[in-house]
Amino acid sequence: MFHLKVGGLALASSLAAGFNFSLLYYNLTKKIGQIFTRDIFIYLLKIATAGLVMVIFVFAFFYRTAFYFNPIPRLLLTIILAGLLYFGVCLLLRVKETRSLVRWIKRS
């Protein structure tokens, strides 16, 4: 048998967080009823899709530009472009909060 060292601490923290989530979810559904409705599931699916598109872009862009930029500007450019791409995909998928943010920016 081997010792997990720091990995054991991370595993224990993850298990405790999962158990804590289960208890909180159970108590909340007991008080207010069903939480995960069809609307929330669709919202989470849109957010996950936007995140997946962003992750694919980040890996492709970050590693293909390794020879063209210094590390710090490359990292900053990757972060800025990834944020803009995520925002754009959320707009295309018509995420409600993104449209609210656009309206708020236009008003300011």
Report pLDDT digits (tens) over 82-107: 999 999 999 999 999 999 999 999 99
Inform me whether the pLDDT recorded for 108 exceeds 90.
no
Inform me whether the pLDDT recorded for 61 exceeds 70.
yes
| Whether residue 46 sits in one domain with residue 30 | no
User: What does the block give as tokens for 91?
Assistant: 């707009």
Q: How confident is the model at residue 13, as a pLDDT? A: 97
Q: How confident is the model at residue 1, as a pLDDT? A: 65
Which structural domain range is residue 85 located in? 36-108
The tally of domains found in the chain comes to: 2
Inter-CA distances, 96 with 15, 34, 39, 53, Å: 33, 22, 12, 19
| Cα–Cα distance measured from residue 87 to residue 4, given in angstroms and rounded to the nearest whole number | 39
Positive/negative CA dihedral, 35, 38, 40, 41: positive
Inform me whether the pLDDT recorded for 79 exceeds 90.
yes
User: CA 14 from chain center: how many Å?
Assistant: 18
Inform me whether the pLDDT recorded for 31 exceeds 70.
yes
| Whether residue 44 sits in one domain with residue 19 | no
